């Protein structure tokens, strides 16, 4: 049974280009499904699978007091896997096609206000240490581009072109994209490269753009702790790197940017994923206008790679 799961996961990682985190989630969910079938129904071969096994598994998930969103994710993994089993002629029918998934409320991303972003960006400016120059460059880049934290920490020096005012990002070559930089981000990166990074770098051949105190690539976890400390200093509360990504998208919309432009900058495969930011932008605009502030139209002048997301 493990062999078929491994084949399915390989198809996600290769043919469909899923991220490592998504594949890992599928692996955990399908592993749990297989263990349930083996322990509760003594199933040893996927050819023995039928709809009553699937119904029993969904009931078991609901009895375990999982959140609806968790049950929905696990059921979605099983349905995708059952479709794969049919494609591979391991089972004759798509057994999970009629298995209902729990309805969950659509997730609305959390964004902070432009004023809060400004307070956050000001925190590293209080210190001229190399680490502070790095942190300023990272925060400005994150807010200017909306890149994922994994993409931010994966940047190499040669991924940034300050003359062209852009950076090339993406943790997988087939999903890489060109993203425009703001004046603030360019200034912060240039200052870090000129004054901060030389003090952090220990090996002349180190390609990573953002370095830790050991002179190696700063990790996602490391940046998360840095962001948390600055957020507390700015009295913003609990935020994550993804909060800044959400804020970039919402604020860009309030400034008049087009949804399609934001989709391509964020690297979303589908425009429907980006459309949720329209609601976030409305919420942010409402908060700003209630404080007597007004959004100013400032469309994004984006540059993209030749193969844009659909």
Residue 290 has pLDDT above 50, yes or no: no
pLDDT at 307: 33
Q: Set out the domains of the chain in order of their start, with CATH numbers.
A: 2-87 (1.10.150.130), 114-290 (1.10.443.10)
71-104 burial by CB neighbour count: b if 16+ within 10 A, else e?
Answer: bbbbbebbbbbbbbbeeeeebeeebbeebebbee
Q: What is the pLDDT of residues 18-75, one digit of tens each?
A: 778 888 889 999 999 999 999 989 999 999 998 889 888 888 887 776 777 788 889 8
pLDDT at 273: 82
What number is the average pLDDT over the span 227-249?
92
Strand partners, 160: 167
Query: Which value, to the nearest 10 degrees, does the dihedral of the CA atoms of residues 275, 276, 279, 281 take?
Result: -80
How does residue 297 score in pLDDT terms, banded at 50, 70 and 90? very low
Residue 120 has pLDDT above 50, yes or no: yes
């Amino acid at each position: 049974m493990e062999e078929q799961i491994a084949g399915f996961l390989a198809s996600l990682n290769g043919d469909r280009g899923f991220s490592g985190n998504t594949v890992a989630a599928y692996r955990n969910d399908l592993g749990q499904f297989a263990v349930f079938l083996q322990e509760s129904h003594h199933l040893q071969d996927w050819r023995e699978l039928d709809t009553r096994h699937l119904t029993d598994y969904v009931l078991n998930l609901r009895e375990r007091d999982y959140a609806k969103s968790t049950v929905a994710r696990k059921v979605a993994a099983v349905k995708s896997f059952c479709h794969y089993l049919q494609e591979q002629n391991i089972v004759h029918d798509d057994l999970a096609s009629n298995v209902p998934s729990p309805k969950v409320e659509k997730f609305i991303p959390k964004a902070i206000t432009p004023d809060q972003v400004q307070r956050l960006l000001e925190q590293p400016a209080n210190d001229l240490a190399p680490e502070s120059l790095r942190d300023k460059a990272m925060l400005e880049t994150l807010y200017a581009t909306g890149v994922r934290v994994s993409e931010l920490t994966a940047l190499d020096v040669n991924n940034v072109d300050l003359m062209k005012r852009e950076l090339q990002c993406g943790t997988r070559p087939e999903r890489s994209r060109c993203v425009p930089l703001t004046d603030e981000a360019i200034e912060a990166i240039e200052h870090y490269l000129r004054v901060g990074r030389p003090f952090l770098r220990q090996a002349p051949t180190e390609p990573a753009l953002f370095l830790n105190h050991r002179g190696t690539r700063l990790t996602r976890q490391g940046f998360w702790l840095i962001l948390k400390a600055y957020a507390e200093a700015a009295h913003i509360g609990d935020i994550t790197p993804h909060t800044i990504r959400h804020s970039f998208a919402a604020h860009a919309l309030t400034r008049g940017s087009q949804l399609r432009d934001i989709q391509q900058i964020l690297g979303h495969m589908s425009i429907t994923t980006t459309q949720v930011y329209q609601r976030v932008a409305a919420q942010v605009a409402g908060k700003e206008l209630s404080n007597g502030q007004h959004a100013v139209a400032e469309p994004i002048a984006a540059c993209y790679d030749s193969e844009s997301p659909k």
